[in-house]
Structure 1
Amino acid sequence: MSLYKAETRRLVKRRFTKLFVLCGLLVLAAVAAGVFLSNQRVGPETVARAKAEAQRNYQESVQETNRIVQECQAAQGTADAGNFPPNCEISAPQQSDFDPEWYMPATFDFRDKFPEMVTTFAAVLALVAYIVGASFVGAEWSSGGMMNLLLWRPRRLQVLGTKLLVLLTSAAALTAVLGVLWTVGFYLIAQARGSTESMTGGAWQSIGLMEVRGLVLVLLAGALGFGLASLGRHTAMALGVAIGVIVVLQFGLLTVLSLANVKFPELYLAPFWIFAWLNKEYVAQDYTSCDVSPLGGCQPETLTITWQLAGGAMAALFLLVVGGAIWTMRRRDIT
């Protein structure tokens, strides 16, 4: 049996792999069920009811405003006049203030809302890939299995590279299959509980490219978990780094940066880079340096994180962690 087939069998047969993949599937199923149950298809009757409710609320607001104006006029010259604006200048409500869209039930428009589901899908599978990747190699180191394997195949880099290749190809295959099912499932949800009328060729292309970027994110997460566990020669190494990054470097760093009034603190936080990668860009705003616009209001200074910039940072992180794991595999003692 070849090394690749042996490692593939080892990965697929592990109970830990099956458990976390199952947990990921349950989370995704819960999300899909929640979206299905919390949305409904909007028909002509629903639109008519929303328009009627908006009109009714508008009329009630007009009547309430008229009543307040009458009370204000009656209170002029009395002690109660101070409870009302001077000269009873009370703005009347406008019909445009009561948009029928606000009275519509939640509906799942595939073009508008499915990108959020792609982000959720990528985040869940990235977490699964990270933990499975860390356990896949970490358990080998902590149990002594890596040392025994190298006695059979005494080529360190080939063994580590094959393990990583098996992990990435398996994660890619799983993500691709689930991605197709995820897209088809939500398309059917949109047909039953929303709308798919706005889908065009360009919209499908945009969604497809976003799903490809989600796939890259999943593979990166798996490689990082694998690399960190290999560096520390234990699964706990990767899990500890993840906890440290989330708790210390994200929440703690955000607090420190906010207290220090640092411009664009999002640049130091991983979620915003991930958002930029999946959604093509993220625009950070600095409200502490507002420029006065001729049209009025605050025009904060902005900085855009593009998907190309986020992709470069991800590539650098991949090379740093995986390259470090390869270097230590070659240089350090196995025992």
Structure 2
Amino acid sequence: MKMEHEVADKIGGIEWRDVSKRYGQNTVIPSFNLTIEAGEFIALLGPSGCGKSTLLRMLAGLEPVSGGRIAIGGRDVTELAPGQRGIAMVFQQYALYPHMTVRDNMAFGLRNIRMDEAEIERRVAGAAQMLELGALLERKPGQLSGGQRQRVAIGRAVVKEPQAFLFDEPLSNLDAALRTRTRLELARLHKRLKATMLFVTHDQVEAMTLANRIAVMNQGRIEQFAAPMELYDRPATRFVAGFVGSPAMNFLPVRRAPDQNGRCAVVLANGAVLHTSVPAFESNEPLELGLRPDALTPADEGPLRGVVEVIERLGDRTLLHVMLPDGVLVVADAPRRREPAIGATISLHMDLQRAHLFDAAGKAHHPS
């Protein structure tokens, strides 16, 4: 337990100040600003190529910045070597030494800096107890499962007692069941250590279940930085609305109709007029109406009609993929055990109290 208190005492916040990254003439991070409070668990979430791993590598000192400054625990670390930054990094690849035991893998970095052997043993024993690796200390990586190896990699970071932990897609190589278990272990680890943790992932489930706040990245910029359910319920942009949520939000092209009682009214491609709960705003065409799949359900009558193309039976819910006459494919929730047949033409009810509108610039307008 002593280790947990010592790590907690050392935690520090992280700050990027106008950080940019260029490779030749190609700018991948134009100007990045983000502040992470001490002890937070933050996720950088976005598709491949959005710049999230580059930001992590610049923070760790593995990539030089092209402009701006980086601070950890209030200290400017922009020009410091990786080993002087007070951070520990866990990669997608475990990067364990195959000829070393678990004990030696965890102790290797500490021995490199000539730490006292008794202190090394104390830290390794504490991390092994925390991560349930005590019975595996004398095994070599080839004798471990994938999840055990990942725990060793995390333990190797824990023994450094860093100011911050950086995770670069550490669960990508694990199978689905093991990813779920390892997510729980990471959540428990954060609760025990109360350390600052930064988690880079393209997997929204990982981000939504682990992070206190999520920065959704797109082309080197933050689209929105918010708590998980705020991203889901009130996405700032069309990009966030389409990226966060599984399955993604449905988007339907619409045009404005005369406002009703200060609320936006819109017209679907089939001519149906819908009265939303979105406060009226000035806009240019085109607009899109956004609805989560659970706000779209089969009904005897509804403003949408389409043909059921695919049925996804997920156990706790059933999803219908419905092709509309204008070629737009939408996903709707089906009542349990009352699903229509594939090829059937059905009507869909729309819960307009939960409908969002997105303007031509991609900005979201929410129901009030």
Q: Which has the higher contact order (CA 8 A, sep 6+)?
A: 1
> Which structure has more strand as a fraction of its residues?
2
Q: TM class, shorter-chain normalised?
A: under 0.3
Q: Looking at CA atoms only, which structure, 1 or 2, has the larger radius of gyration?
A: 1
Q: Which has the higher helix share?
A: 1
Give the TM-score of the pair, scaled to structure 2.
Answer: 0.21
